[in-house]
Structure 1
Amino acid sequence: MGYLRFARFRRGLCLRTVDSCFQELKDSRLVEETFTVDEVVEMLDGLQRVVHGEVESELIHSTYTNVLLLRQLFSQAEKWYLKLQTDVSDLENRELLEQVAEFEKSECTSANKKPSTDLTKPKLAPLNEGGSELLNKRVACLQEENEKLKARLKTIETQATAALEEKSKLEKSLKDLQAIQGDQKVNVIKFQDIAELENKVAALKSQFEKTLNDATENQKFMEEDLVTTKHDLLRVQDQLSTAQKELEKKFQQTAAYRTMKEILSKKNEQIKELRKKLSKYEPED
């Protein structure tokens, strides 16, 4: 609407300039009763040059202002990583041009009158805004990554739990072997059997200690991986929350959201007025 006011002001200024060119010709040259053909042609040629220059200057200015306006829009779109496309064929669409003319006419009429509660006046349909497509894709990507990290975190937690259980079993087996070794030393057994049993116990103890160390290292690695995965999950959830807030903020800045908000506000005001009027006719309890 602001740009329409600016364009209407420039158009009116151009028309006043053209009118002043004709008026100046009338005041400065049309002072005699009769003119020759050459004099009339000379006056018309001079008027044509002046009007041509004024109209050309205004058309050039209008073109440049449109370029600056598009530059502002595209610059703002680049900040949101949006890809805007223009359809030049719509610039000659008579139906759309008539809608713009009707919109300007209705806005100019409403600007000169007091605000009305009539909500049925025609308005231009909001332009299709495809700028949120990239944000929607980003949100979907973050959600997918979030689900993958959750599944990975669950798998790692399961593996860590299994490793802890295996460690407990190994520690219990090692204690049982140490108890057996102590009991066998107390009993009276042949020296050869005792030596063989001690060798077996030492071998089993070494094997269990190695397995226990491997389990401890595996547990440590899984705990570190679990912490890293949790950090990645929190980072992705934060990015997802930020992207959703940006998408919601962008939607609140759209013309469709503002129009709907304005309509709801006016509807609420009308409902309040109707309730006040109805309360006058309702019987008291």
Structure 2
Amino acid sequence: MAELGLNDHHQNDVINYMRFARSKRTLRLKTVDSCFQDLKDSRLVEETFTVDEVADMLQGLQLVVHSEVESELINTAHTNVLLLRQLFAQAEKWYLKLQTDISELENRELLEKVAEFEKAEFTSSSKKASAELMKPKLAPLNEGGSSELLNKEIGRLHEENEKLKARLKTIEAQATGALDEKNKLEHALKDLQGVQGDRKAKQNTQEISGLEKTVATLKSEFAKTLNERTASQKCLEDNLMSTKHDLLKVQEQLSLAEKELEKKFQQTSAYRNMKDILAKKNEQIKDLRKTLLKYEPED
């Protein structure tokens, strides 16, 4: 199809959808015309109307027309969704992912091409007659285009498989060359190590024996130092324990001596005389307080 860039099969589907849309649009326009006619027949029966009556009639007509147009727009949107669903379902059966560009729906140039296509298709009576006899039919999924699509996919996979095989052979050759080079390097390294091995072995043996002697000397010195510190610590602990026992004995003896000294002091005549004097003084103080209370003025 030269106008929209589609093949004949898709051209027939587009024409069938346009016919369906035109029939729905014509039916809805007739419904809108009937709304106006109903208003004329039911309300325009008098010669004069007030402003309020005219406003009321226009408001009622507006509500009816708004409801009809809104219903048609909603139905058109839902119909387009069902059409897209059919196309996507057929694509998913072959694991295809279709893409849509919503911005192209407002492309004025493309919209004008569609309008011209519709005008050219439906103005000719012969095309109308042939279009009415044409029945919409979906392409079978197991014939024609589907088999061709499957064959193309198989061919593409075959070519890709051949490319992968060639790449695998190249990688195997490179790996074989690298392995040979590695073996050569390993043999050269072994030969070089055989020449220098004896000299390095003797030198390493001497160094290892010297290190072993040094380590043994350090171990013995460390063990000796550790034993000396352990013995010194044990001696200090014993001395500390004996000192604590002696201190406790001395404290106990001091306590006994203090008690004995206090007991002896209480048995001396000086202590008894001092005790009697304190008792007499306390009696004298009590008598003086009683005498003082007698001479104090009353409040």
Q: Which TM-score band (shorter chain)?
A: 0.3 to 0.5
Higher relative contact order, chain-length normalized (CA < 8 Å, sep 6+): 1
Normalising to structure 2: TM-score of the pair? 0.41
Normalising to structure 1: TM-score of the pair? 0.43
Q: Which has the larger radius of gyration?
A: 2
